Chain A
Amino acid sequence: MTKFLGIDHMNAAYGDMQALWGVSLKINEGEIIALIGPNGAGKTTLLRTIAGLHRPTSGTVQLGDTALHVLPAYRIVNEGVILVPEGRKLFGSLTVLENLELGAYSRHAREARFKTLHHVFELFPILEERQKQRANTMSGGQQQMLAIGRALMGLPRLLMLDEPSLGLAPMIVQNIFEIIKLMNDQGVTIFLVEQNARQALELAHRAYILEQGRVVGTGTGKELLHNNEVRQAYLGFAPATRHEKR
């Protein structure tokens, strides 16, 4: 595995409010990396900053030899780093097919768009059935699939997903996680932000924990699943009592 995306000492702020404090992490090619942490920890800010929607106040984002933190958002998409944003942000009044076509806007993606479309329809057959339907008339789960499909149309090398399971029924969440695994098997590196820490850690090769804008822990998914502090804070286990410790 080769080093792929590196974030080095990133600080980010909204006005006077600092949201990220010296965040460093790295993602290797082919990995699934999960980022967990409580609400307001800065997870979404971190993804938005990598995607170029928010400028860091200092620090760097490096993809191979390319510095991403100086590029506008659309150029970062061209480099193959694509975000499926929180809340999906579909083009609601446009059709499913138009949403997918727009996902392949950058030049190299546009050239391959018929092939990619075929692939996306294989992953999400429902999108092919509904291709003429307006995006905002679909159910939450279908919209999330469309959001992921639209991102795939841009030919991502690194796909970043912000809370893909938010507000979805358990069965659909299961389905989305299976598809994340499948996309990873097909060679897409995944950076996953989730409230649903258990499923994220089960799926991920490695994970980072972000609290109050700082990376406070890292390890493999398995390690973190069995770490007491993580179990108490994110997996809903009560602190071990004295009785249990004996």
Chain B
Amino acid sequence: MSLHSFAQTLVFGLFVGGIYGIAAMGLALVFGVLKMLNIAHGELLMLGGYVSLWVFQTLGIDPFVSLAIVIPVLFAVGLLLDRTVYRHIVRLLGEEKIKNSLLVSFGLTLVIQNLAQWLFTADERTIQVSYVGEGLNLLGVSMPYTRLGSLFIALAVTLVLNYFLHHTYPGKAILATAEDFEAAELAGINIHRVYMMTFALGASLASIAGTFVTVTYGISPSIGIIWTLKALIVIVLAGTGSILGAFPAGILLGVVEALSGAFIGAAYREVVGLVIFLLVLILRPQGLFARS
């Protein structure tokens, strides 16, 4: 393999990894704070992608600009789902909570997926922006604008999220609730409000990832579960307590998958990701980016 194609593979791995990172941060946030695994995370990502597609087709707004619409829409969907569904699960304790969260979010997965199929049909769609196929060319390595834009926004969102969590009162309330919900209550934090905001924030992050997927790949109602699984692998790599660590872990998975796809063969790219997943679980179960 030439140096040039190695570099090209690496760069594309970075681009994919940025999307993994954003998707996984949303899942990690919900998992870390509400202590439940939201299997429907990928469906929220898919819904976000469709909202972006719909805004592009009806209003002709560029998908990177229309994030200003897509994010609030999915934030509202998140609020609604928390009030109607998840609020009742988050109160449960221990095993009951885990079981119920898996069952309910799996059920929600089926509902959202079928709803999407009914609304948008099962065809794969994509957003064809006017600058599709154009991009930068750096020393023979091509970087399409759509992917470059996705990576930059993903990075910016991660920085904003970092600032929000560590330097604002509502953000610190989220971290505190993740650490110990009773101690958070005793500090005067309304934890049910924190749960609601966190879930909506998770849905918003999913919608950003969904927009990127729609712009760079394509979207169909069945993609949700694949992204839930990817995000799950990434949060185990990062360490389940690490919300922001999910971003570098996502980049890592993207790069490893891309390189192994190029070196070993495209059929094995998923396998290598899963092998790393198992190795991390065996050798460093607290995750790569968790503070021990």
* A141 touches B (CB below 8 Å): no
Is A105 touching B183 in the complex (CB atoms < 8 A)? no
CA distance A94 to B184 in the complex (A): 13
Interface size range on A against B: 20 to 34
Residues from chain B with Cβ under 8 Å of A78 in the complex: 188
Partner-binding segment picked from A30-38, A85-93, A201-209: A85-93
Is B183 touching A90 in the complex (CB atoms < 8 A)? yes
Partner-binding segment picked from B8-16, B149-157, B170-178: B170-178
CA distance A53 to B189 in the complex (A): 13
What distance in Å separates the Cβ of B172 from its nearest Cβ neighbour in chain A?
6
Interface positions, chain A 123-174, Cβ under 8 Å from B, are: 150-151, 154
- Contacts A102-B172, A102-B173, A102-B176 hold; do A91 and B191 have CB atoms under 8 A apart? no
User: 1/0 per residue B161-202: CB within 8 Å of A?
Assistant: 000000001001101100110111111111110000000000
Is A73 touching B185 in the complex (CB atoms < 8 A)? yes
Is B186 touching A82 in the complex (CB atoms < 8 A)? yes
Residues from chain B with Cβ under 8 Å of A213 in the complex: none
CA distance A46 to B165 in the complex (A): 34
Is A154 touching B187 in the complex (CB atoms < 8 A)? yes
Of all chain A residues, which has the CB nearest B191?
A74
* A52 touches B (CB below 8 Å): yes
* A51 touches B (CB below 8 Å): yes
Q: Which of B179, B180, B182, B188 contacts A105 (CB 8 A)?
A: B188
CA distance A102 to B183 in the complex (A): 10
What distance in Å separates the Cβ of A59 from its nearest Cβ neighbour in chain B?
21
CA distance A92 to B291 in the complex (A): 11
CA distance A150 to B188 in the complex (A): 11
What distance in Å separates the Cβ of A134 from its nearest Cβ neighbour in chain B?
8
- Contacts A105-B169, A105-B173, A110-B169 hold; do A92 and B187 have CB atoms under 8 A apart? no
Is A93 touching B185 in the complex (CB atoms < 8 A)? no
What distance in Å separates the Cβ of B242 from its nearest Cβ neighbour in chain A?
10
What distance in Å separates the Cβ of B91 from its nearest Cβ neighbour in chain A?
12
Residues from chain A with Cβ under 8 Å of B241 in the complex: 93
Residue picked from B180, B188, B291, most chain A C-beta under 10 Å: B188
User: Interface majority SS on B: helix, strand, loop or mixed?
Assistant: helix
CA distance A122 to B190 in the complex (A): 29
- Contacts A93-B291, A98-B172, A110-B169 hold; do A103 and B179 have CB atoms under 8 A apart? no
Q: Which of A52, A94, A103, A109 contacts B185 (CB 8 A)?
A: A52
Interface size range on B against A: 20 to 34
Interface positions, chain A 54-105, Cβ under 8 Å from B, are: 72-74, 77-78, 82-83, 85, 89-94, 98, 101-103, 105
Of all chain A residues, which has the CB nearest B192?
A72
What distance in Å separates the Cβ of A107 from its nearest Cβ neighbour in chain B?
9
Is B175 touching A74 in the complex (CB atoms < 8 A)? no
* A106 touches B (CB below 8 Å): yes
What distance in Å separates the Cβ of A98 from its nearest Cβ neighbour in chain B?
6
CA distance A77 to B183 in the complex (A): 12
Residue picked from A103, A105, A110, most chain B C-beta under 10 Å: A105
CA distance A91 to B178 in the complex (A): 9
Is B179 touching A91 in the complex (CB atoms < 8 A)? yes
- Contacts A53-B182, A89-B182 hold; do A103 and B187 have CB atoms under 8 A apart? yes
- Contacts A74-B190, A105-B173 hold; do A91 and B185 have CB atoms under 8 A apart? no
Q: Which of B182, B189, B192, B291 contacts A102 (CB 8 A)?
A: B189
Of all chain B residues, which has the CB nearest A53?
B182
CA distance A154 to B182 in the complex (A): 15
Residues from chain A with Cβ under 8 Å of B190 in the complex: 72, 74
Is A106 touching B188 in the complex (CB atoms < 8 A)? yes
- Residue pairs across A and B with Cβ atoms less than 8 A apart, 12 shown, are A53-B185, A73-B186, A77-B186, A77-B187, A83-B186, A93-B179, A102-B172, A102-B173, A102-B176, A102-B187, A103-B187, A105-B189
The 7 A-B pairs of least Cβ separation, nearest first, read A77-B188, A106-B188, A73-B185, A89-B183, A105-B188, A91-B179, A74-B190
Given contacts A93-B241, A110-B169, 5 further A-B contacts (CB under 8 A): A77-B186, A94-B172, A94-B176, A102-B172, A105-B188
